[in-house]
Amino acid sequence: MRRSTLARLAVAACSLSLLTAFAPAAGADDSADRTAERATASSHARHAYKRVGYFTQWGVYGRDFQVQDLDTSGTAAKLTHVNYAFGNIGSDGRCVMGNIPGEADAWADYQRPLDAANSVDGVADTWDQPLAGNFNQLRELKAKHPGLKVLLSLGGWSWSTHFSDAALTPASRKALVSSCLDLYIKGNLPQDGTRGGAGAAAGVFDGIDLDWEWPGSAGDTDTKYRPEDKRNFTALVREFRTQLDAYGRTVKRKYELSAFVPTAPAKIDAGFEVRKIMRDLDFVTLQGYDFHVSGEPVTAQQSALHARDDFSVDGTVRAWLQRGAPARKLVVGMPFYGQGWTGVTGGGDGMGQPATGPAPATWAPGYEDYKALKKLAASGTYELYRDRRGGHAWLFDGTTLWTYDDPQVLRRKSAYVRAHGLGGAMFWSLDADTPDGELITAVDRGLTR
C-alpha cells in the first residue's frame, strides 16, 4: 500500500527488494481454474466474501473523489469494508493527528466543511459541528449502508517510518495502541476551534488495519527496520487485539483487526510469524500488485494471477497457506490502476522489453488510474494484449506499455477466490475506478455467481 502515487514511483527499490525471492511457480490456466471452481463451488456456496476498498485521504483534492462518490457510483452497496488511508505514527511512537505537512491532514480528516451537493446525506455542514470532513461523510455513509464497516488503515508505504520503534517494547506497544484507540475508536480528536473534541468521531471506525511496510525488511527510504520486528509485530498485533477487545466489552461491540501483508516469501519470513498473528487478525489483505513497477528497466507484469519463476497472486496465496494462514482469512489485493513504461524497444507485444523510464501519466509518471487506461484502450492507438495462462493484460502502442487489470481479469481473479475458498477481494484504490464503478461491479458479480 502507498501513502500517495508519488510514493509508489519514487522507490523502485520496493520492487527490487521483492526480487530477492520468487513466489512459488504456478502454470495453471483458465481450464484448471474452472475445474477447481466447479469442484469446490458447493462447499463454498454460503461463503461470505469480503470486499475491502481503500479510500485515500488525499483523493478529495486533485482527483476530487469524495466519500459521496462511493454512494452515487453504487460502490458502497458492493463493499463490506472501507479502509481509510492513512493514519500516521509520530516520532514519539503514538498515533498523530493534526495539520502537519507531509505527516497528517486533519483538514481532510475532520475539519473541512462540505456543502450539500457533495455530502452523502445532502445536507451542508455547519460551522459549529464537531465533526466534518471525511470522517463525518464516512459516518453518513455508514448510516445509509448499515452493514458497511470502516477501518482506519495505519501506516502505508510513506508512513511506516516509526513502526519499528513504536513496536519495540511492551511499554511502547501499549502506548501506541492506546493512542490509536483514543483517536480513532473512541473518537477523541484534537480540539481546533469548533471541530474535534472528546468523542467527536466516536462510531466512525469499526477497527484498525495495520499497514506496516515492512517489519524485518526494507521499505521506504526513511523506514527503520530491525530483525526483532518479526516477534514485535506479533506482539503488536496481540496488543491491538487485547485493547480492542477490552474496549469492545465496555461498549458491547466487536472491533475488527486486519493487516496488509507482502508477496515475497523473503519478506514474509523476515517479518511475520504467520500462525501466531492469524490467531489475532480477523483477516489479512494480500499484496496482489506492484510485482513489478515502472521504475524497473524492463517491462513486466504487475499483477498476474499465475506466473512461472516470478511473483503472482497464486504464488502469494500459496506462500501464506504453506506458512499456516487459514484460506478464509486471506483477502486478495486487486489493483484499480496500472504500471507503465515508455521508450520501449524490441518490438513484439512490448512485454519483457527494455524501456527508458516510467510512462507519462495524469498524477505521477508510471502510475495511471483504470478510468484513464480504459480511455486509452478505446482510443485506437493502443493494442490490448492478454496472457491467458498468466491471467493479466496490458496495452502497447509500440512505444508505451501499461500493465493493468480490466473487468475480464478481475472476473477471473474473483473466480479464483471462490474456487480456493479465500476470504474475498481488496482494492487499491477506489478513486481509480470509473464513475459508475465498473471494476467493483465486475468483482462483485464474480464473487456472487
Q: So which residues are the catalytic ones?
A: 213
3-state DSSP helix/strand/coil % of the chain, to nearest 5: 35, 20, 45
Contact 54, 123 (CB under 8 A): no
- Alpha-carbon gap, residue 134 to 114, rounded angstroms: 9
* Cell 466534518, residue located: 132
Sequence-distant (≥ 6) Cβ neighbours of residue 82 within 8 angstroms: 52, 53, 54, 55, 70, 76, 138, 141, 148, 149, 150, 151, 430
Q: Which amino acid, one-letter code, is at 152? A: L
Instruction: Give the span between the Cα atoms of 415 and 334, in whole angstroms.
Output: 13
Look up cell 471506525; give the residue: 205
H-only helix segments in 90-228: 106, 133-144, 163-166, 170-180
3-state SS track over 74-120: CCHHHCCEEEEEEEEECCCCCEECCEECCCEEHHHHHHCCCCHHHCC
Spatial CB neighbours of 61, under 8 Å, sequence gap ≥ 6:
108
